[in-house]
Amino acid sequence: MNADFESILRDAGQSITKPRQAVFETLKTTDEPLKNGEIAKRTPNIDRASVYRSLELFTKLGITTTTIRGWTPFTELAEPFKPHHHHMICEQCGRVEEIANDTLEDVLTLVANRHEFTLKSHTVELSGICKNCRADLPQPTAS
């Protein structure tokens, strides 16, 4: 996996620096997209500006993908570093669950084809209330 990371940087004429390696390792060890500020916190020995520059470069090179929730960008590794997936996000607690579903992928491809659209990439975010938070909500009473 690191070999792919390094070859992408080299092929783009970029150096393999300690800050870039640290940011990549941080993203590799998490199971959910992170706010860019959280990535900076998790790499305390790296200058914050270097973290943000690395993230900008990684997105440009396809190493990471960024999704926006509200006004906040969240970053995670892209394919081939992480299998293709989508997210379910709880509106109450903010929990993010990754979902991978072949049927969903087939439907999205079918929709694109029906519109004579060449699908290059896509993201799907489902927003709602998770099972744990739903259990905490008051239940309607029968009248």
- 125 carries a ligand binding annotation: no
- 98 carries a ligand binding annotation: no
pLDDT at 41: 96
- CATH 1.10.10.10, applies to 1-80: yes
Q: What is the pLDDT along the chain (143 residues), one digit of tens a residue?
A: 566 899 999 999 999 999 999 999 999 998 888 999 999 999 999 999 999 999 999 999 999 988 887 788 889 998 888 878 888 888 888 888 888 888 988 899 999 999 999 988 788 888 899 999 988 877 777 66
- 84 carries a ligand binding annotation: yes
Q: In what order do the strands lie in the sheet with 64-69?
A: 34-35, 72-77, 64-69
- 93 carries a ligand binding annotation: yes
d(CA 49, CA 46): 8
d(CA 64, CA 25): 12
CATH number of 83-143: 3.30.1490.190
DSSP state, residue 115: T
Residue ranges of domains in the chain: 1-80, 83-143
